[in-house]
Amino acid sequence: MSDKNSSHKKIRTIFMGTPEFACPGLEALLAAPELEIVGVFTQSDKPVGRRQILTAPPVKQLALKHARPVFQPLKIKAAIETIKNLMPDLIVVIAYGKIIPPEILAIPHYGCLNVHASLLPKYRGAACLNAPILNGDKETGVTIMKIDTGLDTGPILRQAKIQLNGRENLSDVHDRLSGLGAEILVPAILDYIQGKIKERPQDEASASYVKIIKKEEGQIDWTKSVGEIERLIRAYNPWPGSYASIGETNQILKIIEAEIAEEPADKQQTGQLFLQDKKLMVKCGQGALLILRLQLAGGRAVSAEEFIRGHAKLIGQILR
């Protein structure tokens, strides 16, 4: 798609996003001389932390820092007239958390573009950052796509990849893909508007979907193999976290960091917490997990060595 006047006037752009993941992308748009951010749409302020202090989303904080108008409609459909009045040429969406209805998709001349944190059509949906870690993938990446009425089904404009070494946790992948998306976003927009990108339809036969992760999915099933459990711990760190309950007390134990143990574990029961060569381990369905960092409910996160010194009575307990 091209526009003869695009080199002479700024592209009026609306940004829609909410969490920290979206901030580098917004910063890239704000820094682009070809673009004018005429409005930022984000979700409502939410209570945060133990004291439940009402806190603005990261995107709102960034937009206000740059003196951009912020809109926080409870329902995006209620903002149709507001969006029309802003007269956008383009809408860019990164992790907004709301489905954009067809009435809004039709407003901007250049349509609506989305930065999605997977190599579409793989991992459409919400938990696209967790999925490649859970599944032991060797690579992941970001996709810039044109939004249509489906769930992450629109044509692809550009993709970029990162390699995974099998040690990343969710925070690592989050930060790398957030930065990568921001890096390719503005060049992709400009090439798209100047007609230098040919839209590529997604291969429906290769599509896969990932649903929203719920907190209870962080409970570890110790009958699974050590590889599956180790990947789950990395994929759910820092949220929702991976945890187990201890014996009959049901005290919650959060596993923050762990590795696959090289040593065999044949004598223990599945889920049993034990010491071997002064190392803290748990017997899994296949193999054993070497615990490096953990946290008891109500306590602070500690190393395995510190845990062993302070909670020797828990060694031998069965985790469920």
The mean per-residue pLDDT over the stretch 196-208 comes to 97
Q: Which residues of 86-103 are buried (b: 16+ CB within 10 A; e: fewer)?
A: bebbbbbbbbbebebeee
Does some domain include residue 107? yes
Does some domain include residue 3? no
Does some domain include residue 6? no
Question: CB count, 10 Å around CB of 36?
Answer: 16
Residues 179 and 232 both lie in one domain = no
DSSP state letter for 222: T
Residues 147 and 219 both lie in one domain = no
**pLDDT for the residue 1:** 52
Q: What is the pLDDT of residues 108-120, one digit of tens each?
A: 999 999 999 999 9
Residues 31 and 176 both lie in one domain = yes
Whether 5 has a pLDDT exceeding 50, the answer reads no
Does some domain include residue 292? yes
Max Cα separation, the chain? 75
* Closest residue by Cα to residue 288 from 209, 211, 225: 225
**pLDDT for the residue 8:** 67
The DSSP bridge partners found for residue 159 are 143
Q: What is the pLDDT of residues 7-26, one digit of tens each?
A: 468 999 999 999 999 999 99
Residues 206 and 299 both lie in one domain = no
Whether 155 has a pLDDT exceeding 60, the answer reads yes
Residues 116 and 243 both lie in one domain = no
Residues 139 and 181 both lie in one domain = yes
Q: Residue 67: which residues within 8 A CB-CB, separation 6 or more?
A: none
The mean per-residue pLDDT over the stretch 158-164 comes to 98
Instruction: Identify whether the C-beta of residue 240 lies closer than 8 Å to the C-beta of residue 254.
Output: no
Of 165, 185, 210, the residue that ends a domain is 210
Domain containing residue 283: CATH number: 3.10.25.10
Backbone torsion region of residue 111, taken as left when φ is above 0, otherwise alpha when ψ lies between -120 and 50, otherwise beta: left
**Phi, psi angle pair for 164, to nearest 5°:** -110, 135
Between CA 283 and CA 291, with CA 287 as vertex, the angle to 5 degrees is 55
Residues 180 and 249 both lie in one domain = no
Q: What is the pLDDT of residues 263-293, one digit of tens each?
A: 777 789 999 999 999 999 999 999 999 999 9
Q: What is the pLDDT of residues 207-232, one digit of tens each?
A: 999 999 999 999 999 999 999 999 99
What is the residue range of 25's domain?
11-210
Residues 72 and 106 both lie in one domain = yes
Number of domains comprising the chain: 2
Backbone torsion region of residue 288, taken as left when φ is above 0, otherwise alpha when ψ lies between -120 and 50, otherwise beta: beta
Residues 302 and 226 both lie in one domain = yes
With 0-12 / 13-18 / 19 or more C-beta atoms within 10 angstroms meaning exposed / middle / buried, residue 141 is buried
**pLDDT for the residue 4:** 43
Residues 153 and 223 both lie in one domain = no
At residue 191, the 3 state secondary structure works out as: helix
Residues 77 and 41 both lie in one domain = yes
Does some domain include residue 155? yes
Does some domain include residue 320? no
Instruction: Identify whether the C-beta of residue 149 lies closer than 8 Å to the C-beta of residue 197.
Output: no
Q: What is the pLDDT of residues 67-122, one digit of tens each?
A: 999 999 999 999 999 999 999 999 999 999 999 999 999 999 999 999 999 999 99
Residues 168 and 237 both lie in one domain = no
**pLDDT for the residue 209:** 97
Of 187, 210, 233, the residue that ends a domain is 210
Question: CB count, 10 Å around CB of 266?
Answer: 6
**Phi, psi angle pair for 189, to nearest 5°:** -60, -50
Rounded CA separation 144/116 (Å): 6
Of 155, 186, 210, the residue that ends a domain is 210
